[in-house]
Structure 1
Amino acid sequence: MMANLFSSFDPSSNFNIQLNWMSIMISFFFIPSFYWLIPNRMNFMIQKILFTLHNEFKILTKMNNTLMFTSLFFFILINNFMGLFPYIFTSSSHLIFTLTFALPLWMSFMIYGWLINTYHMFAHLMPQGTPVILMPFMVCIETISNLIRPGTLAIRLSANMIAGHLLLTLLGNTGSMVNIMIILVITIQILLIILESAVAIIQSYVFAILSTLYSSEV
């Protein structure tokens, strides 16, 4: 019997190895092969999404190489969708997964910015037109906002992913009910799965677009 409701999201251990984290490797099976003479519809769809994201990220970063951000979008998107299937571990609902992407990205942007564009980073701490009295407070506020960025990126993704799964778990453990209530619960669960699919797309896009915006500031 589980200790609390959130323990249903804990990875199970066999032989002191948490094999549930291997679900992350499933995403590599969804990578399409671009070496076919006649590409299929999945290749055309992914290429269209790639070009759309590339054009959008290129405007924000002001550079032509956006492979890192588009790859990050697809990797998080596939892992978000994996959690919607039964008996597959939801890796993106854990902070250890989200911090793995958020913290190195933020640290690389900060190190590059302070080493290469030091004057620009100092100027970013003081917005233009700030009154003299508010200048010390604005420096503190901007410093704190920069320091909490990896935490907000990681918590936003994991919290949004675990919220819908928690609601689906609650509806799935309702026990014995009359037929009308069962039909109502199944209908609500189908609607929640559709909503969770939209959340999986939106959260992966938000994570990638915020990472792109953070990189454009340095």
Structure 2
Amino acid sequence: MANLFSSFDPSTSLHIPLNWTSTFLCMIFVPCSFWLIPTRSSSLWKKILLSLHKEFKTLLGPTSLGSTFLFISLFSLILYNNFLGLFPYIFTSTSHLAMTLALALPLWLSFMVYGWINNTIHMLAHLVPQGTPPLLMPFMVCIETISNMIRPGTLAVRLAANMIAGHLLMTLLGNTGPYISSSLVSVLLITQILLLVLESAVAIIQSYVFAVLSTLYSSEVT
């Protein structure tokens, strides 16, 4: 069990927590020509960012004071870290709550502080959905308050749990390789490849979900 969870230990090598530097490895992997010469990869990435900008702008609304660059940067950071975690011997920083909570909690807290200071009436109106019977209003206020308080936790846990689950499943299947018959090795390889494709999809989806939900939370306070 210790070996199974060693990939999520930030201080596995020489007891020095250098694995957190994997968060900044994206700057090394991106070639310098990406910033200077327009290539097919840079053009594709710019199209993706432009699509995200349009979608986030729609979610934020025309009256929003926020910018989409914050959420696009958040999406890019999480996406890079999720994909880097799929490479062997690279620490997955987004599988730790220390990383995901550090992203979700300041965002949520800043939205709440801004909303309650500048739009107090609007924030109070959000606690009671329209059409709620007067008898149920105290219960709805409690339910809405609790659901609002757990938002950063759900954002952080969703991202970390999805990253951990896929990596653990691949590790468990990979550890069975030396103990199975040679006829089943091909089946194991195909399963691992399919799981890797699934993990790549999860890496994209979870970064997108994190950014979209953060955008929605931001649009509610304006």
Matches of residues 54-133 of structure 1 in structure 2 within 5 Å? Answer: 54-62=53-61, 63=64, 65-133=67-135
Shift of 1:8: 3.8
Distance 2:209 2:43 in 1: 23
The residue number in structure 2 matching 1:20 is 19
Quickly say closer, same or farther: Cα 1:20–1:35, change in 2 above 3 A.
closer
Shift of 1:11: 1.7
Higher RCO by CA contacts (8 Å cutoff, separation 6 or greater) = 2
Q: Which runs of 5+ in 1 are unaligned?
A: none
The residue number in structure 2 matching 1:195 is 198
- Relative to the length of structure 1, the TM-score reads 0.93
Shift of 1:10: 1.1
- Provide Cα deviations, 1:63-122, integer angstroms capped at 9, x if missing partner: 573100001001000000001000000111000010010000000000000000000000
Distance 1:13 1:179 in 2: 32
Distance 1:35 1:28 in 2: 11
Distance 1:122 1:102 in 2: 22
Q: Larger deviation: 47-56 or 177-186?
A: 177-186
Distance 1:73 1:8 in 2: 23
Aligned length: 216
Q: Which runs of 5+ in 2 are unaligned?
A: none
Q: Letter of the aligned partner of 1:21 in structure 2?
A: W
Q: Larger deviation: 126-135 or 7-16?
A: 7-16
The residue number in structure 2 matching 1:140 is 142
Q: Secondary structure at the residue paired with 1:134? A: helix
- Relative to the length of structure 2, the TM-score reads 0.92
Distance 1:55 1:77 in 2: 19
Q: Letter of the aligned partner of 1:86 in structure 2?
A: P
The residue number in structure 2 matching 1:47 is 46
Q: Letter of the aligned partner of 1:184 in structure 2?
A: V
The residue number in structure 1 matching 2:9 is 10
Shift of 1:17: 3.0
Identical-residue share of aligned pairs (%): 66
User: What is the RMSD of the two structures over their aligned residues, measured on CA atoms?
Assistant: 1.7
Quickly say closer, same or farther: Cα 1:65–1:3, change in 2 above 3 A.
closer
